[in-house]
């Protein structure tokens, strides 16, 4: 059996072609993919052939933010049945390594993650019409939400994981730097987690408008008013309890520190490569710096929050394009000013 898939051969060489479709095993399901969101990592693979040391070395099916409908199930599957609409968790930790065994599956030593060139042979992705997946990857989302919304489960999981890093956000003042798709979902997750105020920054007004729709209580366009470096947010040793940094830009990280209160937390969500940071400011104010990577338990939580309409992800979906026009969709997704989340339909 075969299925149509979006296969990246090398930088900017994305083709729709047939890919093999495995037999459905006892604990597996056949899923007809309905929607798939283009993520920053997909874009890096497409535009640059990878990021950092991670390079595309063989044809790879992109895509990890997907949802679809179960078409068939293996003999031992009880979690879902044919016809169920599901969000498909792209993450398959091994379950056996020391990190999986200690409940830190996001650090699995033998992780299979859809559409990732981190390992070789590459872990093939889910931008395809049909896929055979394991039952434990499926999270039913009911009938009330679109598969496009369900496909936002993965980035929402990333956001829900990030807001847990600094401890309780209840009653806290939170700054979210960068209101792209992840920033927007981090805003929603911070509100869900009980943040009193969520101030969002970005360079573009369109993104800030979305930030408000996602729950930001105030916005600052840092292109017009460079900084937080002056004014109320930096007076008296800072305003915010927590900064959730989603840009990965060195200058932004640096400019956020004066706005952080002593003993506040800087959660780094965006990847930044290597950037200089003012250590003395961190020492002087006893700032806690922490990273956030991927998710595990947050995926079923994200599915439930979307399913029940408790977090509305619709504002971030700015375009929906049939997968046959994937190249056009990837070009749209690279225009940060015009788009947040571009999704493919299958």
Q: How far is the CB of 254 from Zn ion (least distance, A)?
A: 26
- DSSP string computed for 66-90: EEEEEEEE-TT--S--TT-EEEE--
Q: Which is nearer to Zn ion, 36 or 155 (CB)?
A: 155
Min CB(29)–Zn ion separation in Å: 22
* Assigned token pair, 282: 């961190």
Buried b (16+ CB within 10 A) or exposed e, 79-107: bbeeebbbbbbbbbbeeebebbeeeebbe
Smallest separation, CB 17 to Zn ion (Å)? 23
d(CA 189, CA 115): 25
Using the minimum distance from each CB to Zn ion, give the nearer residue, 39 or 207: 39
Residues 126, 3: Cα–Cα separation, whole Å: 11
Sign of CA dihedral 81, 83, 85, 86: positive
* Residue 108 or 302 having the CB closest to Zn ion: 108
Which pair of tokens denotes residue 135?
């039952």
- Which alpha helices (H) appear in the chain, and where do they start and end? 40-48, 98-101, 147-150, 153-164, 181-192, 205-213, 250-256, 279-284, 298-307, 326-333
Nearer to Zn ion, 180 or 264 (CB): 180
Cβ–Cβ under 8 Å, residues 294 and 161:
yes
Contact stretch for Zn ion (CB under 5 A) within 147-155, 231-239, 261-269, 333-341 = 147-155
Identify which range of 99-107, 179-187, 304-312, 318-326 contacts Zn ion by CB under 5 A. 99-107
Residues belonging to the chain: 346
Q: Applying CB under 5 A, which part among 23-31, 38-46, 233-241, 287-295 lies near Zn ion?
A: 38-46
Out of 35, 100, 185, 321, the only residue in the binding site for Zn ion (CB under 5 A) is 100
Tell me the Ramachandran region of residue 234: left when phi exceeds 0, alpha when psi lies from -120 to 50, beta otherwise.
alpha
Residue 160 binding Zn ion, by CB under 5 A: no
Rounded to 10°, the helix 205-213/181-192 angle is 30
Q: Exactly one of 43, 54, 72, 97 binds Zn ion (CB under 5 A); which one?
A: 97
Binding residue (CB under 5 A) for Zn ion from 73, 108, 117, 151: 108
User: Can residue 93 be called a binding residue for Zn ion (CB under 5 A)?
Assistant: yes
Nearer to Zn ion, 239 or 323 (CB): 323
Interacting positions 116-145 with Zn ion (CB under 5 A): none
Complex with Zn ion: residue 95 or 231, whichever CB lies closer: 95
333 binds Zn ion (CB under 5 A): no
How many residues of this chain bind Zn ion (CB under 5 A)? Answer: 8
Site of interaction with Zn ion (CB under 5 A): 39, 65, 93-94, 97, 100, 108, 155
């Amino acid at each position: 059996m075969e299925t149509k898939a979006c296969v990246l051969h090398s930088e900017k060489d994305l083709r729709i072609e047939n890919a093999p479709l495995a037999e459905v095993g006892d604990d597996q399901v056949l899923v007809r993919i309905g929607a798939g969101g283009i993520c920053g990592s997909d874009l890096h693979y497409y535009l640059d052939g990878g990021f950092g040391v991670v390079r595309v070395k063989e044809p790879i099916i992109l895509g990890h933010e997907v949802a679809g409908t179960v078409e068939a199930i293996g003999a031992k599957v009880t979690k879902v049945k044919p016809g169920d609409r599901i969000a498909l968790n792209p993450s398959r930790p091994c379950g056996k390594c020391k990190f999986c065994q200690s409940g830190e599956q996001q650090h699995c030593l033998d992780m299979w993650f859809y559409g990732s060139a981190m390992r070789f042979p590459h872990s093939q992705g889910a931008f395809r019409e049909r896929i055979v997946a394991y039952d434990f990857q499926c999270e039913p989302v009911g009938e009330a939400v679109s598969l496009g919304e369900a496909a936002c489960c993965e980035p929402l999981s990333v956001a829900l994981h990030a807001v847990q890093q600094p401890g309780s956000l209840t009653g806290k003042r939170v700054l979210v730097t960068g209101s792209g798709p992840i920033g927007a979902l981090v805003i929603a997750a911070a509100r869900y987690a009980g943040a009193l105020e969520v101030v969002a920054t970005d360079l573009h007004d369109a993104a800030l408008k979305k930030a408000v729709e996602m729950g930001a209580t105030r916005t600052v366009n840092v292109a017009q008013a460079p900084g937080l470096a002056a004014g109320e947010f930096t007076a008296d040793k800072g305003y915010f309890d927590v900064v959730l940094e989603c840009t990965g830009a060195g200058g932004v990280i640096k400019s956020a520190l004066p706005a952080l209160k002593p003993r506040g937390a800087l959660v780094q969500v965006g990847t930044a490569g290597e950037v200089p940071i003012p250590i003395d400011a961190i020492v002087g104010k006893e700032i806690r710096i922490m990273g956030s990577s991927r998710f595990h338990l947050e995926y079923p939580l994200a599915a439930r929050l979307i399913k029940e309409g408790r977090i509305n992800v619709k504002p971030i979906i700015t375009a929906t394009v049939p997968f046959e026009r994937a190249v056009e969709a990837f070009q749209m997704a690279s225009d940060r000013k015009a788009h947040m989340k571009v999704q493919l339909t299958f």
